[in-house]
Chains A and B, each alone.
Chain A
Amino acid sequence: MRNILIFLLLFALMIVLNSAVYTVNEAEQVILTQFGRPIGDRVIDEPGLHYKLPFVQKVNRFDQRYLEWDGEANQLPTRDKRFIWVDTYARWRISDPLLYFQRLRDENGAQRRLDDILDGETRNSIANHDLVEVVRASNREPAEDATLSEEERQILEPIEYGRERIRQEILQNAQQRTGDLGIEILDVRLKRVNYIEDVRKNVYDRMISERNRIATRFRSEGEGEASRIRGEMERDLKQIESEAYKDAEEIRGDADAEATGVYAEAYNQSGASRDFYDFLKSMETLTATVDGETTLLLSTDGEFYRYLENSSP
């Protein structure tokens, strides 16, 4: 009987002890509440073992870390009336658990408020700027691409604000609105920005026609250059042929002239030489022309047959 009593006593002690001691780990911060109301304004965030009044006081734990917020992707219009899907995310912290506890109570409440605030600020900022300001961040010069022609070289339109400034605008506005909620927003970023489906098709069409233009240009450049080379080829060909002809004929002509001169010099020395040449040539021709088919009609008056009739002329 006594054993049971001792055991029960120990048992009760354990329960009391259990409710009087609690731990706080590195990622937590704790507020003690008594009957639903916070005690003092102390936030217990030192990790380790802590004590409280058993049963009466309750431990309310809050995450000390940076917490996620992920907005639903929304279709938002920009100032230049383009509709885009914007998906933002944010990271935030419970900076003042007491305030947080009073205003928002728990994370569900916090997420809902953040939805309102962040979605609202995002919508506002996007609507105040053109699409190009939301996408681009700087006025940098695009890298040179030598294969593109002058008109195709993409110009990046100069921007005034840029993505970064818009983002900071959203962040600052949101931070102001969370100031009295015990929340600190660390960062807001545009995770995704995309065209809506209809606009996407148009963009694709534009991209396709742009590419087609470039392809056509390449093809016609090829044709043009090939034609030019062909023309050059024909011109050079004609030039070579005609020059060769000219040179050859000149050479032949000079040779003929020289030969003629040489002959004339020999044959034309005097009247007697001309005569002799005449005679010589005639003799040669005679030798050449008389052949097996020839019939000769000869007169006895001629030199050859002179002595046929008489022995003396």
Chain B
Amino acid sequence: MSNRPFETVVHFPDLGKRFSGFRPNGSLLRFLLLGFLALLFVLTAVYQVEPEEKGVVMRFGEFVRTAEPGLHFKLPLGIEQVLKVPVERQLKQEFGFRTERPGVRTVYSNEPHDDVSLMLTGDLNIADVEWVVQYRIVDPEKYLFRVRNVEDTFRDMSEAIMREVVGDRTINEVLTVGRQEIASLVEVRLQDLADQYETGLKVEQVVLQNVNPPEAVKASFNEVNQAEQEREQKINAAQAAYNQVIPRARGEAEQAVSQAEGYALDRVNRARGDAARFRALYQAYSRAPEVTRKRMYLETLSEALPRAERKIVVDDSVEGLLPLLPMGGAAVSGTAAPRGGGG
């Protein structure tokens, strides 16, 4: 009896057994009995279907009707039996991890789920894939009557399909560029298979969660990312140095050229100025050279001579002067003895 599917309600309550060895002998007892029967009657004739459910009513095991949410009646005492299926509720299954407590801050189980999450990739590497399948029951009849243990079946299917899809891809695709494609493909194939098995389920979404290289290999995968960063860093640093040095050098170069140009201007203008002055002077001089010369000479001397600290005027006829010429500030002590005869 207990192996039968859906065996929950007492079937044909066996009145005989219930009352063997029991002799009714009081009207009170009879009254209680009837009351009890009435209660049983009512309790087994009324049922409620919650808003997210659909009721499936079976009479003697045969499906007769579905029941919408609300309060309903059915034939009592097990003649009609109702099974409630949550068709509106979104259900999900988790693979490779387990949510221990959902909430604002979800808590995940710490146990490893390696047997589910580790799988082979197409290039015969190993990846650690966690994913979630969200689904709904859309056909209660199929859900109840076509497949035994739909949840477990669905789980097996999901694992098989995910591995099929991942097994056709490289480890790189699985970890990075192919994630969305994998999820979409699994969604489609899983739905096909669910239909093939007549599960009455609709796959709403397949979402990949953490997809990682296996624990033992993670460090080296991270190193690749690090190395890539280092490469960018080195290149940027060199570029920055370039951008610092070269513009400054260009500025300095321009400055040098400008300075040279300034020098050039200066030089040429001065030359022109000097030349013009000379020309003018020369022209004047040419008109009376002798006189101009003498004048200029005497003017120069009259300006220069007073500045000299000492002036010694010597007559050419004086000879033998030189050796005794005292220098450095002492007063001249007359003239030196004249050399030899003389005047």
Binding site for B on A (CB under 8 A): 4, 11, 14-15, 18, 21, 23-28, 46-49, 61, 63-68, 70, 89, 91, 131-132, 135-138, 140, 142-145, 147-148, 154-156, 163-164, 186-187, 189-195, 200, 203-204, 206-208, 211-212, 214-216, 218-219, 221-223, 225-227, 229-230, 232-233, 236-237, 240-241, 243-245, 247-249, 251-252, 254-256, 258-260, 262-263, 265-267, 269, 272-273, 276-277, 279-280, 283, 286-287, 290-301, 303-305, 308-309
Known A204-B214, A226-B235; further 8 A-B contacts with Cβ < 8 A: A192-B119, A203-B124, A222-B233, A225-B231, A251-B260, A265-B275, A279-B293, A295-B309
Binding site for A on B (CB under 8 A): 3-6, 11-12, 14-16, 19-20, 23, 58-63, 115, 118-126, 141, 144-149, 152-153, 156-157, 159-160, 163-164, 167-173, 176-178, 181, 193, 196-198, 213-214, 216-217, 220-221, 223-224, 226-228, 230-235, 237-239, 241-242, 245-246, 249-250, 252-254, 256-257, 259-261, 263-265, 267-268, 270-272, 274-276, 278-279, 281-282, 285-286, 289, 293-294, 296-298, 300-301, 303-305, 307-316, 327
Cβ contact of A194, chosen from B120, B224, B308, B310, cutoff 8 A: B120
The 3 tightest CB contacts between A and B, nearest first, are A25-B61, A222-B231, A255-B264
Closest residue of chain B to A13, judged by CB? B16
- With contacts A25-B62, A26-B62, A136-B122 taken as known, whether A305 is within 8 angstroms of B308 at the C-beta atoms is no
Q: A207 touching B126 by the CB < 8 A rule?
A: yes
Chain B residues with Cβ below 8 Å from A61 are 3-4
- With contacts A256-B267, A296-B305 taken as known, whether A244 is within 8 angstroms of B253 at the C-beta atoms is yes
A18 and B270 CA atoms in complex are apart in Å by 138
Cβ contact of B314, chosen from A247, A283, A298, cutoff 8 A: A298
Chain A residues with Cβ below 8 Å from B178 are 143
Shortest beta-carbon distance from A142 to chain B in Å: 5
Chain B residues with Cβ below 8 Å from A186 are 196-197
A67 and B88 CA atoms in complex are apart in Å by 26
Q: A263 touching B271 by the CB < 8 A rule?
A: yes
Q: B59 touching A48 by the CB < 8 A rule?
A: yes
Chain A residues with Cβ below 8 Å from B238 are 225-227, 229-230, 233
Q: B168 touching A140 by the CB < 8 A rule?
A: yes
Q: B234 touching A223 by the CB < 8 A rule?
A: yes
Chain A residues with Cβ below 8 Å from B163 are 190-193
Chain A residues with Cβ below 8 Å from B115 are 192, 194
List, sorted by A's number, 16 A–B pairs whose CB atoms are closer than 8 Å.
A14-B16, A65-B145, A135-B122, A145-B176, A192-B163, A204-B216, A207-B220, A208-B220, A218-B224, A233-B242, A241-B253, A252-B267, A276-B289, A287-B300, A298-B313, A303-B294
A144 and B175 CA atoms in complex are apart in Å by 13
Q: A154 touching B171 by the CB < 8 A rule?
A: yes
Q: A291 touching B235 by the CB < 8 A rule?
A: no
Q: B297 touching A303 by the CB < 8 A rule?
A: yes
Chain B residues with Cβ below 8 Å from A211 are 217, 220-221, 223-224
- With contacts A25-B62, A214-B224, A244-B256 taken as known, whether A304 is within 8 angstroms of B147 at the C-beta atoms is no
A214 and B308 CA atoms in complex are apart in Å by 88
Q: B281 touching A236 by the CB < 8 A rule?
A: no
Q: B60 touching A237 by the CB < 8 A rule?
A: no
Q: B259 touching A244 by the CB < 8 A rule?
A: no
Chain A residues with Cβ below 8 Å from B227 are 214-216, 218-219, 222
Cβ contact of B61, chosen from A48, A189, A212, A226, cutoff 8 A: A48
Q: B15 touching A259 by the CB < 8 A rule?
A: no
Q: A26 touching B167 by the CB < 8 A rule?
A: no
Shortest beta-carbon distance from A212 to chain B in Å: 6
Q: A247 touching B235 by the CB < 8 A rule?
A: no
Chain B residues with Cβ below 8 Å from A191 are 156, 159-160, 163
Q: A229 touching B125 by the CB < 8 A rule?
A: no
Shortest beta-carbon distance from A171 to chain B in Å: 13
Closest residue of chain A to B254, judged by CB? A244
Q: B153 touching A91 by the CB < 8 A rule?
A: yes
- With contacts A48-B60, A147-B228, A296-B310 taken as known, whether A135 is within 8 angstroms of B235 at the C-beta atoms is no
Closest residue of chain B to A244, judged by CB? B253
Q: B173 touching A142 by the CB < 8 A rule?
A: yes
A287 and B301 CA atoms in complex are apart in Å by 8
Chain A residues with Cβ below 8 Å from B3 are 61
Chain B residues with Cβ below 8 Å from A233 are 238, 241-242, 245-246
A310 and B115 CA atoms in complex are apart in Å by 135
Closest residue of chain B to A154, judged by CB? B170
Closest residue of chain A to B220, judged by CB? A211
- With contacts A214-B224, A226-B235 taken as known, whether A189 is within 8 angstroms of B285 at the C-beta atoms is no
Q: A248 touching B256 by the CB < 8 A rule?
A: yes
Closest residue of chain B to A212, judged by CB? B220
A21 and B300 CA atoms in complex are apart in Å by 157
Q: A240 touching B250 by the CB < 8 A rule?
A: yes
Q: A187 touching B235 by the CB < 8 A rule?
A: no
